[in-house]
Structure 1
């Protein structure tokens, strides 16, 4: 055996292993940094309120403040918003966690328009359904409008869709939305009860939901989900806060 050559092979193998392990460590640290909330965007008075009220924020605080306009939408089926329960022709294997792409690929045959929706893992209920929201401009979820996927015995067996048409924003001027940190600060100081834990923060659209065949308005809004399951929405233009009981209060 050529021991010199074998020694060189082992050295190169260890170097390659160290490079792989080093990259994995760097990648893990980056993911950890990305997932940790950055409280520097919150004013010192807000951070003090967090401490005083024992409020924790586990979600990353988004920094984006895009320019968005209000929109309108209407329910297609004569104003009926519930939608009928439809069985899938062929049940689809389910699993505990789906990425949006995986879910779309699994259901595109049974639901060709699945690409127009986004999976909402935070609002889905274990053992009951997986919830999706239609997308405005292919990016922003329209909260409260739902496509629910029901499953049993680890298979998706049926769905219930609120079929809508999203209207244009003609005449609506685009405005820069309120920052997530300001919206969160308002909630912390004035609305969140002591001991609250914020687990999810996302920008989308929120509109009043009721049976009607007329066009209904929807505006950009930040959604905050607590560990308890309660939701708060902060209107992205006016700053109005919508509580879990959908009672609107001025900022």
Structure 2
């Protein structure tokens, strides 16, 4: 055996391994940095209260505060509980993680699926949840296109048909910042030890069967590790607490 050559091979192998491990460590730190809370966006008293209540934030706080109008929508057939439709050809469920492939795979069965946003946080075992997009960007929470899967195949779906009205002369208003909304929750609503895992801006409105147009306002959605949801209306700042549909000041 040529020990000199073997030693060189081992040295190169260890160098390569160190490079791979170093890259992985850098990538993990980069992802962690990207998701870290910018505590400077919260007031000092809110940061202190976070420490006192043992509240953790694992989601990045968005910094954007777009100007958005209130909207209205209606269920086309007056009923949000549409029947379940079976797919003629089941689709591999892993495609849900690549939206372009998902759209290509399901557009024959659901032509407007490209106008929906995949809600990973709201999805659960056996169901993928998507929400219609307002103006092609903002999810309309609580209105669900539900994809049902079994044995790693999407086999059926349920899709309430809605129609979003043109806001017309409805005035656009700058939404409350996510940090302000979060500060209100930390101070008045979140329980001790709460862990916030997601913060998302979209629209929230009343959900009930009706032919009439239903109002919807911009809202920040906060999801806890426990699965509970809080919505903070982006214009008024009112909070809708989990498991209730009652707005609180």
Aligned ranges 1:58-137 → 2 under 5 Å: 58-77=58-77, 79-95=78-94, 98-126=97-125, 128-137=126-135
Distance 1:101 1:189 in 2: 40
Distance 2:20 2:234 in 1: 44
Distance 2:43 2:61 in 1: 13
TM value normalised by structure 1 = 0.87
Alignment correspondent of 1:48: 48
With over 3 angstroms needed to count, the CA separation of the structure-2 counterparts of 1:110 and 1:243, relative to structure 1, is same
Alignment correspondent of 2:37: 37
Please list the CA deviations of residues 35-69 of structure 1 after superposition, one character each: whole Å capped at 9, or x if unmatched: 22212111111111111111111011000000000
Distance 1:112 1:96 in 2: 16
With over 3 angstroms needed to count, the CA separation of the structure-2 counterparts of 1:53 and 1:24, relative to structure 1, is closer
Alignment correspondent of 1:13: none
Consecutive unaligned residues in structure 1, runs of 5 or more: 1-16
Alignment correspondent of 1:11: none
Q: CA deviation at 1:159?
A: 0.2
- Aligned Cα root-mean-square deviation (Å): 2.3
Consecutive unaligned residues in structure 2, runs of 5 or more: 1-16
Aligned ranges 1:100-179 → 2 under 5 Å: 100-126=99-125, 128-179=126-177
Q: CA deviation at 1:19?
A: 9.9
**Structure 2 SS opposite 1:65:** coil
**Structure 2 SS opposite 1:156:** strand
**Structure 2 SS opposite 1:112:** coil
Please list the CA deviations of residues 110-130 of structure 1 after superposition, one character each: whole Å capped at 9, or x if unmatched: 21211010100000002x200
Please list the CA deviations of residues 133-187 of structure 1 after superposition, one character each: whole Å capped at 9, or x if unmatched: 0000000000000100001111000000011000011121001100000000000
Partners of 2:96 and 2:102 within 8 A in 1: no
Please list the CA deviations of residues 60-109 of structure 1 after superposition, one character each: whole Å capped at 9, or x if unmatched: 100000000000100011x1011110001111011396133343233222
Partners of 2:63 and 2:177 within 8 A in 1: yes
Which stretch of the first structure deviates more once superposed, 103-112 or 133-142? Answer: 103-112
Q: How many residues align?
A: 235
Distance 2:48 2:182 in 1: 14
**Structure 1 SS opposite 2:97:** coil
Distance 2:107 2:192 in 1: 44
**Structure 1 SS opposite 2:124:** coil
Distance 1:100 1:177 in 2: 28
With over 3 angstroms needed to count, the CA separation of the structure-2 counterparts of 1:95 and 1:58, relative to structure 1, is same
**Structure 2 SS opposite 1:95:** helix
Alignment correspondent of 1:5: none
Alignment correspondent of 1:219: 217
